[in-house]
Structure 1
Amino acid sequence: MFAGCIDIGGTFTDLILYERGKGLEIMKSPTTPGEFERGFMDVLALAAKSRGLSLGDFLVKLELLVHGTTVSTNALVEGKVAAAGLLCNAGHPDILTLREAPRKRAFLTKIDYPEPYIPRKFTCEVRGRIDAMGNEIEPLVEADVVAAAKHLKTCNVAAVAVSLLWSIVNPKHELRVREILQEELPGIPVTLSHELNPVPREYRRTISTAINASLYPIVGAYVSKLDQALRAAGYKNELLIANCVGGMMPPDEIIARPIYSVMSGPTLAPIAAMQLTTDPNVIVVDMGGTTFDVSALRDRQLVITPEATFGMDMLGIPKIDVRSVGAGGGSIAWVDAGGLIKVGPQSAAAKPGPACYGKGGTEATVTDANVVLGIIDPDYFLGGQMKLDRAKAETAVERFAKKVRLGTVEAAYAIYTTSNHNMIGAVEDITVNEGIDPRDSYLVSGGGATACHIGEMAQILGIKRFMIPRFAAGLSAYGGLISDVRWEEAATLHETHVDFAVERTNALIDRLRARGRAFLDRAGFPRARQRFEYAYQGRYLYQSWDIEVPFTLPGDRLTEADVPRLAAAFHQMHERIYTIKDENDVVEFTTWKVRAVGDTGGADRRGVDLPKQQGAPSPKSRRKVYLGPKQGFLEIPVYQGDGLGSGARIDGPAIIEEPTTTILLLRGQSAVTDAHRNYLVELAG
């Protein structure tokens, strides 16, 4: 029997397949922009063919299928979301315009003030007011809601967001608004802010509600179409969709809350890294065809950020902290007005792809540069399944070289190193800019293209130890294969550690846990495979911003003795993030969270242990690789990765070719394989 996870990237759609008793295998099929479900089914057909089965017979044997989708992310990035309307309190139509004064880099003084996520012409005010204590101080004027519905109907909106003041403590008005809208706009989905994101910050609650509403028709259509295609082909079991908090959700749940699918694919990489290494502090990098994603583990905990942004807008919900830059294998090299070499963020993507793909691309990309430099063997791309055109790569790079007055090889190396520095900047953003020395972290390298670059990146960053997993090209897909079903329930309740109401807080946690348990019950998990994790958002009294702090709950109840422990955990987290703490200050707790986790059995989906390497490995060939102006072209050994046993040692400079990735080891770097043929790289000696 099989289990699999499919992650759709900018260039390739990855499948990590687990077969009981035989371990793991990675397969890749070209991504099909505009028809992502076709690439999804293509890679399943490839897996079926590899097992000598028809697609229908293979799907019958597939016990679990997980999917990390980019549909919502692409819609946000490209601005191709559905038209949505917004209902807000009278006097507050500009909440999406004023925002939270988003942080920007120091010298961006000439940026235009961005338009609100939902245009003012689609924003309607309704009279009625709930105060901060949950009291109704002005009744809802239902005629305003009816008028708003009639106006939005003329605007042809596909969804409606409703965000009213203090609905988090009394949702009476929001619930009635939905009832009226369902009568006036039948079939139009309505998102209520208190149900989606019950936090006290009005902008964050409103923007998340607006984004969710605008994604509802898009994600709903995609997931429904995909589910129908799978059922028609013979799949009988559950399809799980990755979310941005490090877990999976059933299709119905992700359709109802599509905002949780945003950036869901990259958030799986740190899940994979947590399984692959026991190091407490880890930097996780993942270079795909279009983007380079960076995330981290701190004290073996996922780093959750409440301030994820898209453009000038926040996402509004907490998610695993992943920073992305436009630096992938398909990133295009160009020259700016000052004559400086730039790489990305523009990408050749899957269509037409890099010039060497021979599908119509003419611009020089990072992949083309790697072919010209000799790092990638055109005859062994994807294990020889896809032949690259070296002549077209050279033509594209030569055309670029003339613009910068360099030789072809020198221009290719300039593209290579520029791309490396773009990625180094992303790593520094999540480490140095957060007060963390990257040299103190272990590095896990994911993505099909990263292993060509990681050696030089590690040198520049001063990182002496890193890992290239055997399935680096499908790191996110592997994270999905081993991850659990995960859902989060949250509610606002203000307490301080000096006058903490234990029973009131326990009653709230009980309600959140009951809702989380109901979610797991709906998802089909027996009680023995359910567990719960807890966190709160807190701040020093009168501080502006909250931070999230996980905590344990022995016996499922808080006691008076636990309150100092909660406060101490806040001080520790504040010091870790900001390097300072004030143990004499009052800690204020604002929001409480319960994460419901359903065990999918992912921890058992591991590769089969390899036999020990007998003797020193022998290279399969040697080839010339350009290693920079000081070394020029060097003829270095090339090793066949899938012929190595555990404990094999290879010293750089050398190349190791796996079917889905090429590893370049530089001088002074030494790789040793572990029991699953992950490559553990250290400075020699």
Structure 2
Amino acid sequence: MNTHRIRVGIDVGGTFTDAVAVDATTLNLLGQVKVPTSHHHEDGVAHGIVEALDRLLEQTGHTPEDVTFLAHGTTQATNALLEGDVATVGLIGIGAGPSATLTRRLAAFRKLELTPGKRLPLAYAHVADPDDAPAVRAALDAVVREGAEVVVASQPFSVDRPEGEDAVVAAAEERGLPTTAAHDITSLYGLHKRTRTAVVNAAILPRMLATADLVDASITKAGVSAPLMVMRCDGGVMSLDEMRRRPLLTVLSGPAAGVAGALMQERVSEGLFLETGGTSTDISVVRRGKVAVRHATMLGRTSYLSALDVRTVGVGGGSMVRVDGGRVVGVGPRSAHIAGLPYACFATEDDLRDAKVTMIRPMADDPADYAVLDAAGGRFAITMTCAANALGRVPEGDFARCDPAVAKAAITPLAAALGTDVATAATRLLDAGTEQVRSVVEAMTRDYRLDKDTALLVGGGGGAASVTPHLAAVTGQEGRIARHNEVISPIGVALALIREQVERIIPGAGQEQILAVRAEAEAAVVAQGAAADGVEVEVTVDPQTSTVRAVATGATELRTQDRAHRADEADRLRAAATSLRTDPASVRVLAGTPAHTVYGTEVHRRVRAVRHPGGVVDAVGVGRVHAPDARGGTCPGGRAPPGLAGRVARWRPPSTGRTPRARSARSARPGSRRLPPARRP
């Protein structure tokens, strides 16, 4: 059934704003547009967002009323920190006695370096008793006189006793000041890290509030009634109201959009996503059907911001080859875009007539070993994309595809300079470029204990064909380019789920406390628009830090009701067979629910005993669990907790010499207790 309803994803980049329309029923791509990002318009990036939306609706023949889901990703918060374009923060430290000593040290945050030579603008004032209203007003007066545009309230142990911070927040809001309480940003202990995270959030708060208001008003004026969502840095989306409270969650959200697209569109269970642009490649991990996240580093320090674990390599589709002594010595980091040169492979054969290799220094401080072509049509860059096309690695219809004859003509002068043929010269160029990517891929494979034999390499971005196919070929891993790879980021925004993470430090957490954290995360996504009957919550307990973490994800009502995009039984069986590395005929169903199916098989070894690899595949065909040796079974729901506890009690970790850091809350052994760590304020 065609509901004529669409989901719209908009990715606001530094140069262009890309928008896509996805059918809300089939999740098929219906249209895509690209407009210049409107940084200098009086309405800022909001103008470009509305322009992209208008063109998209016109292209697809839809009206604003047809939009059932609208989300956008933005690099604005990231750019604000990179450029040092932040507001002056008024930090109010709270405490008396020993606590005062701890909070007064927070004034040192004004030494944090935003950019070379520019420090975080911060004014500090202290309040001994937050219930002393005149003292609080005096502290606010003091920071405002020093230019504070936004206020942060911080007190030791506010995670447990938030009343003091709340009192300062109330007083600041009475004066019309944007305010952040440290305990509202994170509920984890650690006064310095908690406050530093809150301070960075506050520094970008005024600018992000202004943008949010402009975008909201512009979208409403355009006639869209669907609530506006914003991309988070962990691969999900949040409501605009939540972004107004915690804009920090949009920092580093650019790469998250791409991997979200790969996860939802490509149904990646286990592997690495490589998003390649013209200059660089962002590499991230999908494990058990979920993106890998970790606490991000900001301003040179770790924070409590849970963001996508993305590692960037300075190699992209436009990266230029470097030659010295008749051999390829490297690729990049300089790209054709930065050098101001066109790609040789996108010229014409006539343009490349009489081409000769010339060595240049693209920028003043670059080495003079970058090889370019001086030809009848001008000067051209020899890039990764040129080599990939020359070797036939760029598929038909790809964004980076060119005339193969032109690509070979572009590589021919380089081959002559290297004393070899075109295929070998192109291979050497791609080898040098992908070697840098390969080392990062191998490191992340080790870090996350991915099975190299089953980990899939998925390429996204306009330059995907210049990196992923060749890397897959040289490593022997399975690799593919995502469909519509050039717009995978806005597709990820359009398909992303509402997400919320709740963390609490609870020494010796019992079942009731763990369920309370779970309920809090679930309620948070429902409050932002997720359908209550479609929320999935993953809970883990880290016994070393006593951290209980609940991650809830949910879809909007229409998407939850629609089942057209779900995998059928055959699709799920094939996904299980791929994960288990066996033929679908040898895979059998061990158990199942409407949401998940457990599969298993047998592997006979000459030396070792028979093993029983098993896995769990969800309703859309994504593998969630893979075990090299497992048993499956069923039991009535009421008997599940004691039965599961018994299995956990008998379980012993494999002898890898490493101890698992986190365990599922559902498999926590009742009655077990560990000595709690020393509490930090």
Q: Under a length normalisation based on structure 2, what TM-score does the superposition of the two structures give?
A: 0.64
- Say if 2:475 is the partner of 1:461: yes
Q: Which residue of 2 aligns with 1:163?
A: 154
Measure how far apart 1:494 and its partner are.
2.0
The whole-number CA distance in structure 1 between the counterparts of 2:125 and 2:452 is 49
Q: Does 1:124 align with 2:138?
A: no
Deviation at 1:15, TM superposition (A): 2.6
Aligned to 1:626: none
Q: Distance in 2 between the 1:375 and 1:18 partners? A: 30
Query: Structure 1 residue 300 and structure 2 residue 278: aligned?
Result: no
Aligned counterpart, 2:437: 423
Q: Any conservation in 1 of the 2:501–2:550 contact (CA below 8 Å)?
A: no
Assess if the C-alpha contact under 8 Å between 1:82 and 1:215 holds in 2.
yes
2:197 corresponding residue in structure 1: 208
User: Which of 348, 371, 375 pairs up with 2:389?
Assistant: 375
CA contact (8 A) 2:150 2:205 kept: yes
Structure 2 matches for 1:332-481, cutoff 5 A?
341=330, 343-344=332-333, 348=337, 369-370=383-384, 372-373=386-387, 375=389, 416-436=430-450, 438-463=452-477, 465-481=478-494
Q: In 1, are the aligned partners of 2:400 and 2:465 still within 8 Å (CA)?
A: no
In structure 2, how many angstroms separate the alpha carbons of the residues matched to 1:384 and 1:273?
17
Q: Match for residue 487 of structure 1?
A: 500
Give the alignment of 1:86-105 within 5 angstroms.
86-89=91-94, 90-92=100-102, 93-95=104-106
Q: Distance in 2 between matches of 1:569 and 1:9?
A: 52
Cα displacement string for residues 462-483 of structure 1 (whole angstroms, at most 9, x for unaligned residues): 41x1222222222232223222
**The one of 166, 169, 180 aligned to 1:178:** 169
Indicate if the aligned counterparts of 1:211 and 1:315 stay in contact, CA closer than 8 A.
Answer: no
Give 1:599's aligned residue: none
1:203 positional shift = 3.0
59 and 547 in structure 1: CA distance in 2 versus 1, 3 angstrom threshold: same
Pairing partner for 2:143 from 149, 152, 157: 152
Separation in 1 of the partners of 2:25 and 2:310? 34
Matched residue, 1:321 = 309
Secondary structure of the residue aligned to 1:297 is: strand
Instruction: Assess if the C-alpha contact under 8 Å between 2:65 and 2:224 holds in 1.
Output: yes
Rounded to whole Å, the distance in 2 between the matches of 1:65 and 1:238 is 7
Q: Does 2:89 match 1:84?
A: yes
Between stretches 444-453 and 75-84, larger displacement belongs to 75-84
Indicate if the aligned counterparts of 2:125 and 2:142 stay in contact, CA closer than 8 A: no
Which whole-Å CA distance do the structure 2 matches of 1:36 and 1:557 have between them?
53
- In the alignment, the residues of structure 1 paired with residue 638 and residue 187 of structure 2 have an alpha-carbon distance, to the nearest angstrom, of 22
What is the CA–CA distance in structure 1 between the aligned matches of 2:516 and 2:660, rounded to whole Å? Answer: 34
Is the aligned partner of 1:517 residue 2:523? Answer: yes
2:225 counterpart letter in structure 1: K
1:201-251 C-alpha deviation (Å, 9 max, x unpaired): 223311221121112122222222222222333323222111123322221
Q: Aligned in 2, Cα 1:97/1:14: closer, same or farther, shift over 3 Å?
A: same
Instruction: Quote the Cα distance in structure 2 between the aligned partners of 1:517 and 1:535.
Output: 14
Q: Is the 8 A contact 1:32 1:39 kept in 2?
A: yes
Counterpart of 1:67 in 2: which secondary structure?
strand
- Aligned amino acid, residue 296 of structure 2: A
Measure the CA separation in 2 of the matches of 1:161 and 1:435.
40
Deviations 1:422-472 (A, max 9, x none): 322332332234554544411222112112221221234341x12222222
User: 8 Å contact 1:27–1:43 — kept in the other structure?
Assistant: no
* CA displacement 1:469-524 (0-9 Å, x = unmatched): 222222232223222222234433221xxxx54445555655x25xx526624x45
Please list the CA deviations of residues 512-547 of structure 1 after superposition, one character each: whole Å capped at 9, or x if unmatched.
25xx526624x4555445x2514244233xx6x969
The 3-state SS of whatever aligns with 2:458 is strand
Structure-2 change in CA distance of 1:270 and 1:383 (3 Å): closer
Match of 1:222 in 2: 211
Deviation by residue 1:234-283 (Cα, 9 ceiling, x = unmatched):
32322211112332222122122111112223223343333445664221
Cα contact 2:458–2:482 (8 A) shared by 1: yes
Aligned counterpart, 1:671: none
2:74 corresponding residue in structure 1: 69
Aligned residue pairs total 540
Q: Between 164-173 and 241-250, report the one with greater CA deviation.
A: 241-250
Q: In structure 2, what is the equivalent of residue 310 of structure 1?
A: 298
Distance change (3 Å), C-alpha of 1:381 and 1:430: closer
Give the fraction of aligned pairs with identical amino acids, expressed as a percent: 22
Alignment partners' CA distance in 1, 2:548 and 2:514: 19
Cα 1:533–1:435 shift into 2, 3 Å: closer
Query: For 2:59, which of 50, 69, 85 is the aligned residue?
Result: 50
Aligned partner of residue 181 in structure 1, secondary structure: helix
| Distance (whole Å) between structure 1 residues aligned to residue 453 and residue 8 of structure 2 | 35
Deviations 1:110-139 (A, max 9, x none): xxx9648996872425244xxxxxxxxx77
Separation (CA, whole Å) in 2 of partners of 1:580 and 1:520: 30
Tell me, which stretches of 5 or more residues in structure 1 are unaligned? 100-112, 129-137, 592-685
Residues 234/173 of structure 1: CA separation in 2 closer, same or farther (3 Å cut): same
Cα shift at 1:167: 0.2
Distance 1:485 1:561, change over 3 A: same
Contact 2:271 2:457 (8 Å CA) reproduced: yes
| Structure 2 Cα separation of the partners of residues 547 and 577 of structure 1 | 21
Instruction: Tell me the SS of whatever aligns to 2:139.
Output: helix
566-575 or 73-82, which moves further after superposition? Answer: 566-575
Match of 2:539 in 1: 535
RMSD of the TM alignment (CA)? Answer: 5.3
| Structure 1 length-normalised TM | 0.64
* Distance 1:525-1:456 versus aligned 2 partners, 3 A rule: closer
- Residues 121, 5 of structure 1: CA spacing in aligned structure 2 closer, same or farther, 3 A cutoff? closer
Unaligned runs of 5+ in 2: 95-99, 348-361, 364-369, 373-379, 554-634
When residues 252 and 121 of structure 1 are mapped into structure 2, their CA distance, relative to the original with a 3 A threshold, is closer
What letter is aligned with 1:69?
A: T
Larger mean CA deviation between 367-376 and 260-269 belongs to 367-376
Secondary structure of the residue aligned to 1:167 is coil
User: Counterpart in 1 of 2:575?
Assistant: none
Cα contact 1:9–1:288 (8 A) shared by 2:
no
| Partner residue in 2 for 1:6 | 10
Partner of 1:375, secondary structure, is helix
The AA in structure 1 aligned to 2:153 is V
2: CA distance between counterparts of 1:259 and 1:556? Answer: 40
For 1:239 and 1:318, the matched residues in 2 are separated by 22
3-state SS of the aligned residue for 2:212?
helix
CA separation of 1:121 and 1:477: change in aligned 2, threshold 3 A = closer
Q: CA shift at 1:575, angstroms? A: 7.4
Distance 1:570 1:174, change over 3 A: farther
> Residue 323 and residue 140 in structure 1: after superposition, are their counterparts in 2 closer, same or farther (change >3 A)?
farther
Q: Which amino acid aligns with 1:124?
A: Y
Residue 198 of structure 1 and its aligned partner are, at CA, apart by: 0.8
